Copies of this chain bind each other. A is one copy, B any other.
Amino acid sequence: MANLDLYATLARQLRADSIRCSTAAGSGHPTSSLSAADLMAVLLGGHLRFDWSEPRNPANDHLIFSKGHASPLNYALFRAAGAITDQELMTFRKLGSRLEGHPTPVLPWVDVATGSLGQGLPIAVGIALGAQRLLSAPYHVWTLTGDSELAEGSIWEGLDHAGHERLANFTAIFDVNRLGQRGPTELEWNLDAYAARVAAFGCEPIVIDGHDLAAIDAAFTRAKRAERPTVIVAKTTKGRGVSFLENKEGWHGKALDAEQEKRALAEIGDGPSRTFPTLKPDPWQPPKGPASRKPEWKTYREPVATRKAYGEALAALGAARADVVVLDGEVSNSTHAEDFKATAAERFFEMYIAEQQMVAAAVGMQVIGFVPFASSFAAFMTRAFDFIRMAAISRANLRLCGSHAGVSIGEDGPSQMALEDLAMMRAVHGSTVLYPCDANQTARLVGLMAEREGISYLRTTREKTPILYPDRLEDFRIGGSRIVRGGERDDAVAVIAAGITVHEAIKAADELKGAVKLRVIDAYSVKPMDAAALVEAVRVTGGRLCVVEDHWVEGGLGDAVLAALAEAGVAHDVRRFVHLAVRAMPGSGKPAELLDAAGISARRIADAVRDLARA
């Protein structure tokens, strides 16, 4: 039991440092740190196996602060492990410091950004899932959650999957300190209710006093030996260790002032801040799969849906690379992600209808070196927007695919139509947004996505589309575009389209043959946009442009084109700009009927072009 003294000393330092750094910052969450200090002291002092000098050691345990606002505790833990100095600890929340208000992977010991509650746990599930199923990894995945965030449905999506997959390498620690930001939580200290929920979702609850160091120690030991995922439901006190903070309302997210800090440190028993001995992992390397080879893309000559080409491209990737994993939200026979199973069934993850968990799991898997592709109907990607936004802050390399985009899906109606996905995905920091119009282009773009850093998004179409690029598999690039009709120096009007509307624009061009010299640009790279091609089109046509897209009028291709023109400094040269996009709420109907009703069919494009040519 010698460790208990060590734990107590360590907990004392974690408490003192949590207060010191937040007081220096003048903001932060000391009381939310104090409640979990004993839990983290025992974890760091006796259970977490982590090589602090080698944060990328593949044998390291993973520890994710799902309660990211307890960053003072997280950073105090890094300080106690010797990963950062006391000096750096005191830069908390200052401009340029790696110690941001909430943890981000700017720090090499942080896997992912947290701070939007209910996300760290589902991401930890993703790490544990990839580690157990594909790597048989020896490490354990720990995540610390607050109790307020247990109201987020995403927590239960995460535990549902942990339970279903029997992730014995996963342990969540619920820091049940009873107090949220503005008052008591829904369940306060009803630990039995939490335990019943955990058990009902297929995980093993371990209920303890979160300030009893011996009990915590025993719980962690039990958790590591369990054959199922475990959740330590720890009763704690917010502000624990400082009499005037303990279990007090009104102290959430407030730093102590200098005088309060002095009193608090006197109570805690501040000593010189030091580095503690911690456990290292045994050496281990992940199994090396076969060397990657060049994927053998299928070549298409007959009409095929881009969603089908997506699935077949995944299958080609699966055969060529051992690091690609595919996740889907129970619609893999629609997105065609299921085709991946033909070449790499063990790397296909069925996430059921839980898009938040799907994206979280993908984020987790890229933490441990996989190259994830995750798909659902494009409309349902909106379910995971907060996770996608946070993935950008996590500097995650993530590939998403949304199928069945636009009114062109037809009969299913507006709930299944994505008419806002381009707006959503353009507004993700550093994102790449691609929207292919034929199967060969799709395959090529999927290949580029596999190599791409950051978050990339592919928008696919339900309906079969003709093949435009039978022999040009190799020359697509992100940030490019293609002229698919016209291209002469005397083109009178340019239509800029992407995906399904490229085919409508081509039909319009054919209809107008002899009447209007029309250039049709396939702007498959919505972000980054091929500004040079736009500038050239403006120059050639005297600034007569028509953008046509199967998306709401806001935030999609039209906005992207205008922004690119403005950025290129040629807005002034745009004489006439017509934007055909979805402006009224669609209903059900046949794809062609809905394209026409929305004003984005070949006929409507031809009408617009005739007007433009006259102007």
Residues of A within 8 A of B (CB): 25-28, 68, 93-97, 99-102, 104, 106, 113-118, 148-149, 151-157, 160, 164, 180-182, 185-186, 193, 196-197, 199-202, 330-334, 338, 352-357, 379-380, 382-383, 385-386, 389-390, 392-393, 411-416, 419-420, 423-424, 426-430, 527, 543, 552-556, 558-560, 562-563, 565-567, 569, 571-577, 579, 585, 587-590, 593-594, 597
Partner of A333, one of B148, B182, B330, B562: B182
Determine if B566 and A563 form an interchain contact, defined as CB atoms under 8 angstroms apart.
no
Least Cβ–Cβ distance between A383 and chain B, in angstroms: 4
User: Using Cβ atoms and an 8 Å threshold, which residues of chain B touch A152?
Assistant: 153, 157, 353-354, 383
Give 9 A-B contacts (CB < 8 Å), ordered by A residue.
Answer: A117-B353, A152-B153, A153-B154, A153-B356, A385-B385, A385-B420, A429-B552, A554-B560, A572-B574
Q: How far is the CA of A294 from the CA of B181 in the complex (A)?
A: 33
Least Cβ–Cβ distance between A398 and chain B, in angstroms: 15
Given A197-B200, A414-B113, A567-B579 in contact, is the A333-B424 Cβ separation under 8 Å?
A: no
Determine if B353 and A412 form an interchain contact, defined as CB atoms under 8 angstroms apart.
no
> By CB atoms of chain B within 10 A, which of A352, A353, A355, A419 has the most?
A353
CB-nearest residue of chain B relative to A423? B427
Determine if B151 and A588 form an interchain contact, defined as CB atoms under 8 angstroms apart.
no
Determine if A96 and B587 form an interchain contact, defined as CB atoms under 8 angstroms apart.
yes
User: Using Cβ atoms and an 8 Å threshold, which residues of chain B touch A153?
Assistant: 152-157, 354, 356-357
Q: How far is the CA of A115 from the CA of B418 in the complex (A)?
A: 13
User: Using Cβ atoms and an 8 Å threshold, which residues of chain B touch A597?
Assistant: 95
Copies of the protein in its oligomer: 2
Q: How far is the CA of A176 from the CA of B115 in the complex (A)?
A: 36
Given A153-B155, A200-B196, A567-B579 in contact, is the A424-B96 Cβ separation under 8 Å?
A: no
Partner of A390, one of B95, B160, B415, B589: B415
Least Cβ–Cβ distance between A441 and chain B, in angstroms: 23
Least Cβ–Cβ distance between A449 and chain B, in angstroms: 19
Partner of A118, one of B94, B101, B353, B389: B353
Determine if A571 and B563 form an interchain contact, defined as CB atoms under 8 angstroms apart.
no
Q: How far is the CA of A154 from the CA of B354 in the complex (A)?
A: 9
Partner of A562, one of B115, B559, B575, B594: B559
Least Cβ–Cβ distance between A343 and chain B, in angstroms: 18
Least Cβ–Cβ distance between A255 and chain B, in angstroms: 10
CB-nearest residue of chain B relative to A118? B353
Question: Closest 4 interchain pairs by CB?
Answer: A153-B153, A115-B415, A95-B589, A423-B427
Least Cβ–Cβ distance between A333 and chain B, in angstroms: 5
Least Cβ–Cβ distance between A423 and chain B, in angstroms: 4
Least Cβ–Cβ distance between A178 and chain B, in angstroms: 13
User: Using Cβ atoms and an 8 Å threshold, which residues of chain B touch A560?
Assistant: 554
User: Using Cβ atoms and an 8 Å threshold, which residues of chain B touch A118?
Assistant: 353
> By CB atoms of chain B within 10 A, which of A95, A160, A193, A333 has the most?
A95
Given A157-B153, A414-B113 in contact, is the A588-B101 Cβ separation under 8 Å?
A: yes
> By CB atoms of chain B within 10 A, which of A27, A148, A411, A589 has the most?
A411
Determine if B382 and A383 form an interchain contact, defined as CB atoms under 8 angstroms apart.
no
Partner of A104, one of B413, B527, B593: B413
User: Using Cβ atoms and an 8 Å threshold, which residues of chain B touch A576?
Assistant: 569, 572
User: Using Cβ atoms and an 8 Å threshold, which residues of chain B touch A193?
Assistant: 200, 202
Determine if A148 and B330 form an interchain contact, defined as CB atoms under 8 angstroms apart.
yes
Least Cβ–Cβ distance between A586 and chain B, in angstroms: 9
Q: How far is the CA of A102 from the CA of B586 in the complex (A)?
A: 12
Determine if A577 and B566 form an interchain contact, defined as CB atoms under 8 angstroms apart.
yes
Q: How far is the CA of A129 from the CA of B484 in the complex (A)?
A: 56
User: Using Cβ atoms and an 8 Å threshold, which residues of chain B touch A148?
Assistant: 330, 352-353
If A196-B199, A392-B585, A429-B552 are given as contacts, then 7 extra A-B residue pairs at C-beta distance below 8 Å, sorted by A number, are: A25-B411, A101-B411, A156-B156, A199-B200, A423-B555, A559-B559, A572-B572
Determine if B414 and A593 form an interchain contact, defined as CB atoms under 8 angstroms apart.
no
Given A352-B185, A588-B97 in contact, is the A412-B572 Cβ separation under 8 Å?
A: no
CB-nearest residue of chain B relative to A412? B101
User: Using Cβ atoms and an 8 Å threshold, which residues of chain B touch A385?
Assistant: 382-383, 385-386, 420, 424
Given A197-B201, A412-B102, A566-B577 in contact, is the A180-B330 Cβ separation under 8 Å?
A: yes
Determine if A113 and B415 form an interchain contact, defined as CB atoms under 8 angstroms apart.
yes
User: Using Cβ atoms and an 8 Å threshold, which residues of chain B touch A382?
Assistant: 385-386, 389
CB-nearest residue of chain B relative to A575? B572
Determine if A157 and B151 form an interchain contact, defined as CB atoms under 8 angstroms apart.
yes
User: Using Cβ atoms and an 8 Å threshold, which residues of chain B touch A164?
Assistant: 186
Partner of A587, one of B100, B196, B200, B558: B100
Least Cβ–Cβ distance between A89 and chain B, in angstroms: 14
User: Using Cβ atoms and an 8 Å threshold, which residues of chain B touch A585?
Assistant: 392-393, 429-430
User: Using Cβ atoms and an 8 Å threshold, which residues of chain B touch A197?
Assistant: 197, 200-201
User: Using Cβ atoms and an 8 Å threshold, which residues of chain B touch A429?
Assistant: 419, 552, 585
> By CB atoms of chain B within 10 A, which of A185, A390, A412 has the most?
A412
Q: How far is the CA of A199 from the CA of B196 in the complex (A)?
A: 9
Least Cβ–Cβ distance between A487 and chain B, in angstroms: 24
Q: How far is the CA of A171 from the CA of B376 in the complex (A)?
A: 30
User: Using Cβ atoms and an 8 Å threshold, which residues of chain B touch A588?
Assistant: 93-95, 97, 99-101
Q: How far is the CA of A160 from the CA of B560 in the complex (A)?
A: 41
User: Using Cβ atoms and an 8 Å threshold, which residues of chain B touch A115?
Assistant: 412-413, 415-416
Determine if B552 and A563 form an interchain contact, defined as CB atoms under 8 angstroms apart.
no
Determine if B186 and A97 form an interchain contact, defined as CB atoms under 8 angstroms apart.
no
